[in-house]
């Protein structure tokens, strides 16, 4: 037994197949078949190998543990590395009709890998110190499901971006960065990152809508090549915790706070000392949890006009603050609250919008228009910005 | 002997289009590790200068713990380090955008050497010459910025920004407006503005760029109010875009009762063209180590200068130099915020900046700006001709440009950092951007007035070559560098106070004991 942490690897070999074919995702056997027919070449294995190569270049003695074939072992070998191989209980087997799909050589190898295979592999590798997985947001959801199954035994994970959609915060910026972060990983030093996904059918039809599925533990984020400027100290990256600290410091007695879904709003609950939910809408007041995971009707009853502040995180890469995963906060709830929204996002999340506005799609276009304008967005402790919020209907109508 | 490399035949074979650079690697230890007890270098006193015997009362009881080295070993050590480095004197240093890496004329080092023997606590009467230099440099910077008074005390740009925010705080407090607790800045202003404001206790509102790449003026309108203490803004911003509505920004903040503070650390594109005070700013600062050619000194001490309007002059850090009756005197302004560093300032750099401005004169300064802008636009023309490179928002730039490799990255998977590292194999480098990256896959180039057209062509040729390598063999570029002293650096220790060690003493304490 060496002191080297064990690094696990799971590859979703069909991740990213749809991207090259312009299919905006690879979920579902039909999309995969269509992609292969269009000549798509599977690249997830290659991207995983790039991560492994970077890992080994920095940490030649790294202990790698993976599952057989295209779901891990092949990538380690392609990177010139060695690994221990664990066989999950049921080996991957082709889904009917898919293995015969026309496609280049590699495609035949990978066809038929399912979400179940990913989950089984993650469970089989539960004992590692850090689990790398190569794929996209869909894969991240499968990993999240498996980690939930494992509960307290779940290792921290880090995504190697290899899918079409990589909006989740658990992905490194590139495969090489994933390898370098893994090389620098020290057990115990972890943070939290969101797993979000788009409904691919909607996305293919141009109706984008990210949803937050949960959070996973990831290595403490550090830019592997940060290109820093010597001698100039920037402000430390505003973290979710800093945002939460700011929100709590602004809370006033006798005011009800409606916390929307999201890791940032949940951090507010944590900072406040109450167990709020990740995916639900919670209500807190004077340091107490008044109600957790409330449905719309109950929420409406809890709103005290003029004494209720709605706190929302920006979800995913599209900038939605209303109408995506928080429909409980309905137009009548917002009307009754009658106080400005408190919007939360890190600077990094806002920068990713590239100048596009935040979006409101509450279900009532008049209300959306009334909410729109310039809103304060809390980006850290005693740090904020003033950012444009638009009605989603206007943004898409141009 | 390899005949292809032989120089026996004349004329000498032409050089290849790109330099076959290879950086030295010496495995050079830290100088403290080279120390051996009793080793000495000797500087023989010149004729006529009798060695001064220090009185016992000011002599150290124990010698300082400096490395003990022979002259040759000192020389060799630093030459080796210089060979393992890329600096202004060695490479085409246009890649450190926003840092303004310009040539520092060597003659100015000789002038700076002339004040090396002064003691900072000498009586004013014995240092009239150096006080005159402070006075005259202050007057010149006041003329350049339009401000009433200038402090030359700060030891860096960030220290100058901190002095400015401390003055802003003192100003509002003196007027009974201490409730103003917010500072507004912009995403593309240098992050020291936000950091200093926060250190001084302010809440910071950072305006994000709009779709044009300019700070959103509607957001400023929404942000400015009774809590606004100041706007702290860089212009041109780090993108190299000059904010054409800067006057409106200043006016909006004034209307709300706040002060306007201009980060002119890098005034290289506007010297002799625009003045902070003319746009209504109440305070500004310069980095002498950017605009006025003094060395950056690898993290200091460099030199910053704070310029203020008549109204804020009483709050300046002290002492400042006053001139009265033919004599220069040290004075502490009436409501001074105190000292931002010991003594008067970083005197050798004050001398260098003074000499630089004196050599150029007013017209020369304007020519510096015009040449820097011309150089930048020429380089931009060359860079934008490289497939995969772009300059978001497509506007004209002043003295620098924040470019993007987004298109190249999307096509090849090679990131901007990796291209910059590969460029180091050809003896140049670049810096990407502050975080978070608003411009995707960024790189920031700033040619200043120092570089020739040939230099800029060589630099652009190198980037064009690396970009084409990224297309033909991305894995090769990702594994770079190949010709450097150090291949890949683990930067994590720089983020960990338990690990970083800016001095030998800290290194011994944290890592060797
Ligand atoms: C515009 C601007 N302001 C301020 C600073 C900070 O100066 P210093 O590094 O001397 O603290 C810099 C340095 O990069 C700068 O470019």
Per residue in B255-271, pLDDT (tens digit) is 999 999 999 999 999 99
As a whole-number percent, the residues of chain B with pLDDT over 90 amount to 79
Query: How distant, in Å, are the alpha carbons of A100, B149, B150, B245, B274 from that of B146?
Result: 77, 9, 10, 19, 9
Choose, out of A16, A173, A221, A227, the residue to mutate when testing the contact with B (most B CBs < 10 Å).
A227
* Cβ pairs A/B, distance under 8 A: 128
Would you state the pLDDT for residue B154? 96
Is B193's C-beta closer than 6 angstroms to any atom of ligand 1? Answer: no
Per-residue pLDDT at A208 exceeds 70: no
Per-residue pLDDT at A359 exceeds 90: no
Ligand 1 center to residue A231 CA distance, Å? Answer: 9
Would you state the pLDDT for residue A40? 65
Per-residue pLDDT at A1 exceeds 80: no
Q: Which of A366, A268, A352, A283 is nearest to A315 (CA)?
A: A352
Ligand 1 center to residue B175 CA distance, Å? Answer: 30
Would you state the pLDDT for residue B171? 98
Give the mean pLDDT of A67-77: 94
Into how many domains does chain B fold? 1
- Whether B410 maps to a domain, the answer reads no
Is B234's C-beta closer than 6 angstroms to any atom of ligand 1? Answer: yes
How far is it, in rounded angstroms, from Cα A105 to Cα A96? Answer: 19
Long-range CB contacts for residues B123-129, cutoff 8 Å, separation at least 24: B124/B327, B124/B328, B124/B329, B124/B330, B128/B327, B128/B328
Query: How distant, in Å, are the alpha carbons of A23, A70, A101, A114 from that of A95?
Result: 20, 16, 11, 8
Would you state the pLDDT for residue A230? 29
List pLDDT tens digits, range A132-156.
999 988 899 999 999 999 988 899 9
Choose, out of A385, A387, A389, A395, the residue to mutate when testing the contact with B (most B CBs < 10 Å).
A385
Cis bond upstream, residue B436 (ω within 30): yes
Ligand 1 center to residue B502 CA distance, Å? Answer: 19
Helices A44-58 + A175-183 axis angle, to 10: 40
* Chain B residue with Cα closest to A389: B219
Among B residues 401-430, those touching chain A with beta carbons less than 8 Å apart: 413, 415-418, 420-421
Ligand 1 center to residue A351 CA distance, Å? Answer: 22
For residue A173, name the pLDDT band (cuts at 50, 70, 90).
low
Helix or strand or coil: residue A226? coil
Would you state the pLDDT for residue A351? 83
Domain ranges of chain A: 6-219, 240-397
- Whether B136 maps to a domain, the answer reads yes
How far is it, in rounded angstroms, from Cα A246 to Cα A347? Answer: 14
pLDDT greater at residue A80 or residue A392: A80
**Under a CB-based contact definition with an 8 Å cutoff, are residues B379 and B460 in contact?**
yes
- Whether B330 maps to a domain, the answer reads yes
CATH number at residue B320: 3.40.640.10
Give residues with Cβ within 8 angstroms of A281, minimum separation 6: A258, A259, A260, A261, A293, A294, A299, A326, A328, A329
Among B residues 386-405, those touching chain A with beta carbons less than 8 Å apart: none
pLDDT greater at residue B311 or residue A264: B311
Per-residue pLDDT at A222 exceeds 50: no
Is B98's C-beta closer than 6 angstroms to any atom of ligand 1? Answer: yes
Neighboring chain A residues of B441 at a CB cutoff of 8 Å = none
Per-residue pLDDT at A18 exceeds 70: no
- Whether pTM > 0.90 for this model: the answer is no
Q: The domain containing residue B125 runs over which residues?
A: 107-360
How far is it, in rounded angstroms, from Cα A270 to Cα A276? Answer: 7
DSSP code per residue over B281-298? -SEEEEETTTTT----TT
As a whole-number percent, the residues of chain A with pLDDT over 70 amount to 77
List pLDDT tens digits, range B341-375.
999 999 999 999 999 999 999 999 999 999 999 99
List pLDDT tens digits, range A373-393.
999 999 999 999 999 998 877
Residue B215 has what DSSP assignment?
Answer: B
**Distance of alpha carbon B225 from its chain centroid, rounded?**
33
Q: Count of CB atoms within 10 A of residue B507's CB?
A: 15
Give the mean pLDDT of B376-397: 95
* Chain B residue with Cα closest to A349: B436
Per-residue pLDDT at B275 exceeds 60: yes
Would you state the pLDDT for residue A90? 62
**Under a CB-based contact definition with an 8 Å cutoff, are residues B460 and B384 in contact?**
no
- Whether B167 maps to a domain, the answer reads yes
Would you state the pLDDT for residue A96? 46
How far is it, in rounded angstroms, from Cα B413 to Cα B482? Answer: 20
**Distance of alpha carbon A86 from its chain centroid, rounded?**
27
**Under a CB-based contact definition with an 8 Å cutoff, are residues A138 and A162 in contact?**
no
Give the mean pLDDT of B45-53: 77
Would you state the pLDDT for residue A227? 33
* Chain A residue with Cα closest to B183: A383
Distance from CA of B188 to the nearest CA of A (A): 11
- Whether B291 maps to a domain, the answer reads yes
How far is it, in rounded angstroms, from Cα A113 to Cα A117? Answer: 6
List pLDDT tens digits, range A97-121.
444 343 333 333 444 568 889 999 9
Would you state the pLDDT for residue B485? 87
Helix or strand or coil: residue B81? helix
Would you state the pLDDT for residue A111? 47
Per-residue pLDDT at B407 exceeds 60: yes
- Interchain proximity B416–A227, CB inside 8 Å: yes
- Mean pLDDT (chain A) is 80
Per-residue pLDDT at A226 exceeds 60: no
Helix or strand or coil: residue B348? helix
Q: Which of B436, B448, B349 is nearest to B92 (CA)?
A: B448
Would you state the pLDDT for residue A108? 38
- ipTM value, please give it: 0.84
A206 class by beta-carbon count within 10 Å (0-12 exposed, 13-18 middle, 19+ buried): exposed
Residue A130, beta-bridge partner list? A7
Candidate from A68-82, A228-242, A312-326, A365-379 with smallest mean pLDDT: A228-242
CATH 3.40.50, applies to A6-219: yes
Query: How distant, in Å, are the alpha carbons of A217, A359, B265, B301, B372 from that of B192?
Result: 31, 31, 11, 17, 24
- Mean pLDDT (chain B) is 93
Candidate from A319-333, B92-106, B199-213 with smallest mean pLDDT: A319-333
């Amino acid at each position: 037994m060496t002191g080297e942490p064990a690094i696990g690897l799971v590859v979703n070999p069909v991740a990213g197949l749809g991207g090259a074919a312009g299919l905006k995702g690879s979920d579902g056997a039909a999309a995969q078949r269509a992609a292969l027919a269009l000549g798509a070449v599977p690249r997830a294995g290659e991207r995983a190998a790039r991560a492994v190569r970077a890992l080994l270049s920095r940490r030649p003695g790294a202990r790698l543990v993976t599952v057989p074939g295209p779901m891990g072992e092949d990538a380690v070998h392609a990177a010139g590395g060695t690994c221990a191989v664990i066989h999950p209980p049921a080996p991957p087997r082709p889904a009917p009709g898919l293995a015969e799909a026309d496609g280049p050589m590699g495609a035949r190898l990978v066809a038929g890998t399912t979400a179940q295979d990913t989950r089984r592999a993650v469970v089989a590798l539960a004992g590692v110190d850090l689990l790398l997985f190569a794929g996209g947001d869909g894969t991240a959801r499968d990993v999240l499901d498996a980690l939930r199954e494992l509960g307290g035994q779940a290792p921290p994970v880090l995504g190697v971006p290899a899918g079409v959609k990589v909006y989740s915060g658990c992905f490194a910026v590139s495969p090489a960065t994933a390898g370098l972060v893994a090389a620098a990983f020290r057990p115990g030093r972890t943070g939290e990152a969101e797993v979000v996904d788009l409904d691919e059918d909607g996305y293919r039809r141009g109706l984008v809508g990210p949803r937050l599925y949960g959070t996973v533990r990831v290595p403490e984020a550090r830019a592997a090549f940060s290109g820093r400027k010597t001698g100039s100290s920037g402000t430390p990256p505003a973290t979710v915790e800093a945002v939460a600290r700011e929100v709590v410091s602004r809370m006033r007695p006798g005011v009800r706070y409606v916390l929307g879904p999201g890791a940032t709003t949940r951090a507010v609950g944590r900072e406040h000392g109450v167990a709020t939910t990740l995916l639900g809408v919670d209500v807190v007041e004077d340091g107490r949890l008044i109600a957790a995971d409330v449905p719309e009707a109950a929420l409406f009853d809890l709103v005290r006009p003029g004494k209720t502040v709605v706190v929302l995180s920006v979800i995913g890469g599209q900038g939605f603050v209303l109408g995506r995963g928080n429909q409980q906060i309905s137009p009548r709830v917002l009307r009754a609250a009658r106080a400005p929204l408190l919007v939360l996002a890190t600077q990094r999340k806002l920068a990713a919008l590239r100048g596009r506005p935040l979006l409101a799609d509450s279900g009532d276009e008049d209300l959306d228009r009334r909410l729109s304008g310039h809103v304060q967005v809390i980006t850290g402790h005693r740090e904020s910005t003033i950012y444009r919020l638009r009605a989603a209907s206007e943004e898409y109508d141009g | 002997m390899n005949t292809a490399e032989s120089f026996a035949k004349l004329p000498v074979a032409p050089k290849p289009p790109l330099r076959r650079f290879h950086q030295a690697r010496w495995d050079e230890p830290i100088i403290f590790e080279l120390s051996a007890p009793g080793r000495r270098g000797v500087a023989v006193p010149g004729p006529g200068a009798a060695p001064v015997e220090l009185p016992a009362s000011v002599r150290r009881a124990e010698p300082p713990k400096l490395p003990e080295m022979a002259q040759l070993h000192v020389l060799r050590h630093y030459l080796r380090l210089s060979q393992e480095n890329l600096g202004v004197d060695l490479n085409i240093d246009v890649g450190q955008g926003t840092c303004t890496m310009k040539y520092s004329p060597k003659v100015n080092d000789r002038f700076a050497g002339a004040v090396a023997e002064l003691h900072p606590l000498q009586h004013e009467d014995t240092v009239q010459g150096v006080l005159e230099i402070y006075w005259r440099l202050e007057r010149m910077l006041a003329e350049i910025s339009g401000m009433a008074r200038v402090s030359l005390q700060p030891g860096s740009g960030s220290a100058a920004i901190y002095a400015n925010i401390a003055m802003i705080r003192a100003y509002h407090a003196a007027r009974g407006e201490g409730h103003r607790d917010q500072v507004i800045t912009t995403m593309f202003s240098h992050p020291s503005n936000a950091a200093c404001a926060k250190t001084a206790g302010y809440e910071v509102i950072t305006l994000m760029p709009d779709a044009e790449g300019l700070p959103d003026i509607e957001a400023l309108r929404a942000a400015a109010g009774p809590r606004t203490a100041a706007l702290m803004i860089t212009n041109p911003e780090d993108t190299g875009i000059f904010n054409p509505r800067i006057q409106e920004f200043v006016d909006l903040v004034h209307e709300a009762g706040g002060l306007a503070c201009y980060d002119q650390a890098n005034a290289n594109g506007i010297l002799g063209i625009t003045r902070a005070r003319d746009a209504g700013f109440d305070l500004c600062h310069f980095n002498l180590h950017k605009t006025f050619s003094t060395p950056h000194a690898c993290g200091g001490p460099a030199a910053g200068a704070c310029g203020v309007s008549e109204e804020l002059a009483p709050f300046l850090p002290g002492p400042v130099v006053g001139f009265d009756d033919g004599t220069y005197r040290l004075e502490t302004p009436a409501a001074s915020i105190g000292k931002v560093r010991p003594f008067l300032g970083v005197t050798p750099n004050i001398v260098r900046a003074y000499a630089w401005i004196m050599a150029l004169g007013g017209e020369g300064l304007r020519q510096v700006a015009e040449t820097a802008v011309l150089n930048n636009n020429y380089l931009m023309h060359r860079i934008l001709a490289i497939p995969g490179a772009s300059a978001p928002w497509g506007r004209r730039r002043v003295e620098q440009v924040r470019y993007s490799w987004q298109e190249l990255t999307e096509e090849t998977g090679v990131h901007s950092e990796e291209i910059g590292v590969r460029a180091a194999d050809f003896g140049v480098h670049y810096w990407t951007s502050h975080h978070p990256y608003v411009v995707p896959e960024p790189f920031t180039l700033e040619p200043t007035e120092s570089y020739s057209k040939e230099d800029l062509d060589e630099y652009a040729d190198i980037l064009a070559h690396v970009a084409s390598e990224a297309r033909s063999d991305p894995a090769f570029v990702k594994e770079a560098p190949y010709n450097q002293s150090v291949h890949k650096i683990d930067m994590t220790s720089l983020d960990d106070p338990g690990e970083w060690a800016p001095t030998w003493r800290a290194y011994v304490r944290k890592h060797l004991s």
